[in-house]
Structure 1
């Protein structure tokens, strides 16, 4: 975000504007919300000249965060301003070049019809100043076409503001490329929700970086956990790098050696039942007191015995009681 702020400040200063940070922290200090059928208009001061560059900066910064954690995209799709963020993350142009194009595009969006041609000329001039590169990552445009070497030409981008958007075609193209995990880099779940509707038969993971009504950090962590659970390789060292760690002194006395881990073999796992598990002291006490019926009930409640095993319990316990007390086994009471 600071990189975007530094680059954008110089561009907007020439137009009498400001950088990313003042716009983000205007008023309530909440992050901007992209326009969509669920969210309405962008909640930012001013017009597109502020909203579009800030949205680009947010999307680009989120993409860089995910990449720093080892989450590398196999394909990118963007709509509107998001198309520039996707292309920038794919290496088509630099951050500074992208912001210059986005600012010119925003001015075009703010221009009334009477002056649109001059604003369009300015946007196309901004495109001409960019040194385009071939995408390093599969890049799908909103018409469903996989970007080729043409994406590295100014002519490809000059007509972008006037091109139609077909999200369904774009999502179908991603699915055709084998994509099954879809991650939105934006301030809400708008595209995730729309994309899921485009691929109703997909069993893939639909995740969002940020969610309205949820703090940013927990939302990111929840999505990170979802990605990890679906097999995405996370660079945990990179994730943990910004958090200070220090060595601690362990207690010098022995720990109580009691394991709470899951047994490797289910047969080795301790059995439990609906009743209270009999402790060793209880077993010894009941044996010593000859209360074999009570001990039978304790053991039945704490273990999953078969009927044959239950029938053997009284006989076995009588023998144990005799060994424990050094006496003959007590008479066997009827047991049902």
Structure 2
């Protein structure tokens, strides 16, 4: 069995009262109850009846609901607004949350095109399907792709243009955790190199509430009172969660931010039991043991279990008995096992419930705290914790590391008998970065599909910078530059500190001009560039570049190596040639070159007429003309060649050469010039950070809005 550990490197979520992972953690840590009365999707008063099994009625008017489930940004995903309303909102939610998860991981989605990236989405029902087919005359050939479960995954693979496995997984309540299990297997087999795995669930119509009320499994107040004596069923919830997965070795090699590690998992079925929907305790024990074996972890090393915990008296009792049978083995009295259930906060998200549990555990590992389990007043009399070291946290608790580090387990048991269990470990400690000489200024790039989205994104970054004053400006700029797709509407900020960046972003948001701010729109064609090599160079700048820019240093050394006497012309030549090499290492290639004095020889070398060594030899063997570059003539000549931008490889007139150099980078970027941001910071010890994600410009997309 291949037991290679799998890294979780990014997460995205939309849960009740929690639009992203940071908000989700704040809610969990504060012990927030996110259950509310049902929004105006149906006539609650007409459909509610307090007695279960009342024909045509639901026994609860409560649940965990998302706001604005009709909202979507169709143009971002290249979908016609007139068609978007007919697409299942669950599919649309997967698109948005998957994009946020990729950005959370610091991955430019365009770089995934053609890759072996897999998509595994847990989804088990579609209320939208019912709505769409009510109008038989409105049925067309798009209805299938708009509602079939497979398209929740397939549409995402299509949009990203990825070639790995793409599948919907339906095992009811365990769907999303099974999806993660399958994604891990795909990564371990080499079938995929990156995987997006998760689940989605939206409750758009009342029919399932009516059916579940008849089944007698819904809580009257819409709350999961897991392990409590008052447990009377579960409250339905909705949401979407997606994680980005990589083999741990690959994630570490790429210096990804590892959030947690999946050590192992297992899936089984309950087989023949008291009924197809009845839990089977023996099968639960089996899947727990198999997951521990797959992870090569002894049960006493696990210190937190995120339980299925639906809040049914019998189900809670069977689950707790299974946990005792497996996790008490060899456990010393001073080795506590915390047990909780996120369903007490947000309800049972059904097909997406496993993702809520998994993301909760990852956040707890990151923050090293165990959030409170709600609604526990008196333990279910069928459950006893006597003789165990089990504990249910009713307040936020510090997660003290046991020997061997923090390990958690996550359970998800399906309505039809499919069980999943997963062992998750805290991320390995990041290797210390060796500090070196860094550049004094940095460039932050932001971009969006529309001007309004760009302004919203800048506001998000402004808030983020203000609330993270100790933020590494170098790492933040690196992550924003390499870990985001670059759209046409662009902002570039040349900055030195987080305080300065905050001022600059505020100026942009207020539409006030400020040094270091560059805004522009990339066109269909990249701007034509000219490299200009003047007759003089700035030696102070050259010393800084030589100390901080390896590409500059290598090019400079290649010029002067073996030269017996380095005079002023040779220095100018070597500096300007090294500057050209630096620009090229950043992905900036000239369409035209022009030079004066020693710069003429540099221009000829950059144009490919001869090598740098030959150019320097010719320069030293003759006399470089120093009549001064005729700027007017040069500009006229470049204008005739339709040059849009000049890059001068020489001294800045202002004397602030670093500012001039990075201002040129920023100005080129906002005009649409391709910058290789990975190379721009490639030889510095940078880390990816979790930065603000794209602000989708959501609009109402309903069936009634379609053509």
TM category (shorter chain) comes to: 0.3 to 0.5
Where relative contact order (Cα < 8 A, 6+ residues apart) is larger, the structure is 2
TM-score normalised over the length of structure 2 = 0.19
Structure ranking higher in helix proportion: 1
Higher CA-based Rg:
1
TM-score, scaled relative to structure 1? 0.38
